[in-house]
Structure 1
């Protein structure tokens, strides 16, 4: 009986070991990842050497499309032998770079395997808005949103994209963006890590062959990504926007696929999301090259859940809160906002209270059930420290258990804006403090600093420092940064 079972099992083991195309892409990704880009805030000068290096690479063409308002070059990289023309453009919003990095990963893949390129020709515009990328800003140098300039074509960047589409008469277009990490897939606590859309070409949201083909390609991409981010793929709103490039590309006859890169747990630089872009876009190109996308149905596209916006970075539930002698039970939603340094290359977080009340229909990347806990305002440690070294020598767990959430420092270097320790810093050169150094953290208030304590039976259990959680009773630190005030 055992021998018979093993004989039956062998063919199934062989099937299990045979990987699909997307699984091979996923597993071999590190062989093709462009290692010179590992953070989101890269600039035109960071990618230009990558583009220049392709001039001597067999099978690639580099075309200078033109220049941005401030004179930065905008290039298109092309590869392939087929008649079907595929145009991909990224970073038309300068602060949406995830797919730009993925493009160079895809280009690295094509350096070693051009099998997909026999039936298609692929054209990459990696950074349409280099001036915006320079300062990590959505809009171009004169403040125009390029994605709302498809009709007037007032920006040089807009004209370049339109001319590229027209000169290629592109069959397919990939409109690559980033969306807020606070989107979730509707009625779930899962972030919308990738959201797709086949944009409408008219207000009636009609579906013709051009739009239908885009829907089928998206259905294929969704089926792939469900392997790696199950339940975290959403569908972006298809409200018709007559000024937008995606909507107009569809109208001009290019089957257009919008990809929005959202949020993923513990992925602040969106490097895993970048990998998902790589896998899904290459899978889409394969399906176009082989014409296999035609087997997908419109219903498969329409079954992708819509985006919702119900996520917080931190959600605190069921918290007892007293005010003017009255007792309340509330939920608190906290979001962490990125504050950039002067050259827009790095950032730190400032956590703020984004909502208060009944948040039972909302979710958090992290959730604390505060049932049985009470809200407590943090205090400032009474001793003024001399320098940052004194600060780093503190016993933070002890200070937090005593109710302190901030420390004053006398000689704090100007360049220090945050700390990875679970304590905020007050720079007394900037803030006038009373003689007893008694500066309480702000009370619970919408839009204000998210620093407070959660106590039970008069004992501090959780410290919320700048929107991050410190588990005082366990000595567990999930604080990414305390902030300097």
Structure 2
């Protein structure tokens, strides 16, 4: 009996491996040729409804696609559904129900470019003969305009699946019901500070097959979603090893993902997180493109059916233990005593008024023993002493005078603040790797505490070797200074 059990398990494993191998070739080709299909007119997170309208108009002119207006946002912006294929299996993808989560919206237009191209003809023939694929990009265009999570009603659309008070929610429900979709891809962004559980690696992509009841039962609908996720995880391990997480599956009765699963659509939640040195999430966009297209292909071929559901639970859970910058083991002098302390800080984005770009106002997030936390950038500061940032001794009169300074020399002397006699009113932050202060501003004594703007120096044997300005680390032994902006304290 035991021998038979081992044979059965081996057979299931080989079937799962076969499903993955069948699409391995197309996955590699998709990754290698991605730049051919990347939509070049959109390349930053703060995209707007107006940015995608010309793309939708261009797609409308192609008879291969069916494009229809399926609703309007509270602000009167069109919500478009783009469909392709003639198969009996309906696959429905919707993105950006949270206005500040645009990575997958960009990937959708890359995928549409793929379908418009003459390449991969054999694979596309299989997809389009077996599936009809529907895309609803940017469900919350009003939120996108303001680069905010919620819509103009102030409602989180993803918590409006029961009351359906928002027109965007009503549209999503109506479209899902009209398609009676077999598979659904619920496309989001998550915080860049999530990591794969108990590792220093960011959760670049996280998945969830949402529960449809409090018992977290697994029926065929949810089981198929789990199989697709196992398949996509295997793909991503090739390109972002160890950087995939799994969301907690506690049932949320108001959420669309949970309800769409309950309504009979195998629902895959995809959350785009962080990736080192990928502020605008363009590498993550590529991973979305490759993994989603590969998943669509395996749905068309039904090669996911033999994948073992048990593999789903082996994906590490999401954790939230990442900082942008972590300083380890620095010496902090306070009231005559020395303390060894770790510091964790995040580089927090603040939108400019047009919500098209941003600047940084960083904050100390935590301090103490941070040995169970990680950083995108980590500095071992053992043997270094934290030093107060001082004000430059001379008051300058203009931005031009500040610009003329040798900032490396300024920082090496421990100056983190430059006093100006006047400020142009249009400036809300310092374009220099130092803070700008008014004539009457008094630089506060350094008192490390969560919530402060992290600005200080690290000194060893009387020599300042590192500067932390607005939460950004500067190695003064090197020539580059990577501080996007300082602060202005008037």
Q: Shorter-chain-normalised TM-score: which range?
A: over 0.9
Separation in 2, partners of 1:299, 1:156: 38
Residue 19 of structure 2 corresponds to none
Residue 258 of structure 1 corresponds to 269
Residue 464 of structure 1 corresponds to 468
Residue 486 of structure 2 corresponds to 482
Q: Does 1:90 align with 2:95?
A: yes
**Where do residues 45-444 of structure 1 align in structure 2 (5 Å cutoff)?**
45-112=50-117, 113=119, 114-115=124-125, 116-419=127-430, 421-426=432-437, 428=438, 432-433=440-441, 439-440=443-444, 442-444=446-448
CA drift of 1:419 comes to 4.7
Separation in 1, partners of 2:97, 2:249: 19
SS of the residue aligned with 1:127? Answer: coil
Separation in 2, partners of 1:420, 1:86: 47
SS of the residue aligned with 2:341? Answer: strand
CA drift of 1:442 comes to 4.3
Separation in 1, partners of 2:445, 2:209: 47
CA drift of 1:484 comes to 2.6
Relative to structure 1, the CA distance from residue 342 to residue 140 in structure 2 (aligned partners, 3 Å threshold; closer, same or farther) is same
Residue 36 of structure 2 corresponds to 31
Residue 43 of structure 1 corresponds to 48
Ranked by relative contact order (alpha carbons within 8 Å, sequence separation 6 or more), the top structure is 2
CA drift of 1:441 comes to 6.4
Separation in 2, partners of 1:473, 1:291: 57
Spell out structure 1 runs of 4+ moving beyond 4 A: none
CA drift of 1:478 comes to 3.0
Residue 15 of structure 1 corresponds to none
Q: TM-score, normalised by structure 1?
A: 0.93
SS of the residue aligned with 1:227? Answer: helix
Separation in 1, partners of 2:161, 2:138: 17
Unpaired runs of 5+ residues, structure 2, are 1-22
Query: Contact between 1:422 and 1:470, CA under 8 Å: does it hold in 2?
Result: no
Separation in 1, partners of 2:417, 2:239: 41
Q: Deviations over 1:69-114 (max 9, x none)?
A: 1111111111111110001000100011100000000000000253
Q: TM-score, normalised by structure 2?
A: 0.92
What is the RMSD of the two structures over their aligned residues, measured on CA atoms? Answer: 1.4
CA drift of 1:128 comes to 0.6
